[in-house]
């Protein structure tokens, strides 16, 4: 039994990148911080953090890259993470992550060796800051999408009261047109062709009125 517990401890120590002589308290604290960080990442939307078979290093490195990418901040570094990466590629990604954090003015400094060594005490405040960034960015995007949707809705949708007002206006215009056509003065006379050019302006007006039974 002692050999089995020793083997379990060795595996746990190795996965958390702790020294072989680490105390139970150190291991317990590291595991607690690891679990809290995973819960934080899952709550933010990084669901790979809850895969039990994924190594802690991959969860932390992938979570950092994901949070930075979701923050909509131009950092000009490659943050693509793939679990099939070689160790060298993951170390390079860790360097890119810390460079991106500096460009983002992260208030908690983080060094590449702290990412590689799973320094959870150093990682914790960084993740707290990044997750707040992710949630704020998501809320901002949601507000932008809502405003855009409202504009599209207003531009393509007619409210019932507006539709009724439009119909009422059309009916009024039809009624006015009908009344005008019905009660317009009938033409009683028509001038002879060629005679209109010899009249003055006043004479022409008088003739037009007379054609419809009117006079000045």
The tally of CA atoms less than 13 A away on the side-chain side of residue 194 is 0
What is the maximum span of the chain, computed from C-alpha positions, in angstroms?
A: 129
Which has the minimum average pLDDT: 97-106, 157-166, 196-205? Answer: 196-205
Q: Is residue 124's pLDDT more than 80?
A: yes
**CB–CB of 75/53 below 8 Å?**
no
Kindly report the CA angle at 77 between 60 and 88, in degrees rounded to 5?
55
The DSSP line for 81-142 is --TT--HHHHHHHHHHHHHHHHHTT-SS---HHHHHTT-HHHHHHHHHHHHHHHHHHHHHHH
4 pLDDT band (50/70/90 cuts)?
very low
Kindly report the length of the chain.
216
The residue extents of the domains of the chain are 2-155, 185-216
Of 110-114, 162-166, 185-189, 190-194, give the range with the top mean pLDDT.
110-114
- Taking the C-alpha atoms of residue 215 and residue 200, their distance in angstroms, rounded to an integer, is 16
């Amino acid at each position: 039994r002692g050999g089995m517990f020793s083997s379990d401890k060795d595996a746990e120590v190795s996965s958390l990148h702790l020294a072989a002589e680490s105390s139970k308290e150190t291991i317990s604290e590291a595991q607690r911080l690891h679990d809290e960080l995973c819960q934080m990442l899952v709550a933010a939307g990084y669901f790979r953090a809850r895969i039990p078979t994924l190594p802690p290093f991959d969860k932390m490195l992938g979570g950092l890259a994901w949070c930075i990418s979701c923050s909509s901040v131009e950092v000009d570094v490659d943050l693509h993470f793939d679990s099939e990466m070689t160790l060298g590629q993951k170390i390079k990604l860790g360097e890119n992550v810390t460079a991106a954090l500096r460009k983002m003015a992260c208030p908690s400094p983080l060094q590449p060796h702290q990412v590689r060594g799973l320094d959870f005490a150093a990682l914790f405040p960084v993740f707290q800051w990044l997750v707040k960034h992710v949630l704020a960015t998501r809320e901002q995007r949601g507000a932008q999408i809502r405003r855009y949707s409202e504009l599209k809705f207003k531009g393509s949708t007619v409210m019932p009261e507006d539709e009724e007002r439009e119909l009422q206006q059309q009916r009024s215009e039809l009624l006015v047109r009908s009344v005008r056509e019905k009660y317009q003065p009938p033409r009683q006379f028509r001038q002879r062709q060629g005679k209109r050019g010899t009249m003055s302006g006043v004479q022409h007006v008088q003739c037009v009125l007379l054609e419809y039974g009117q006079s000045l």
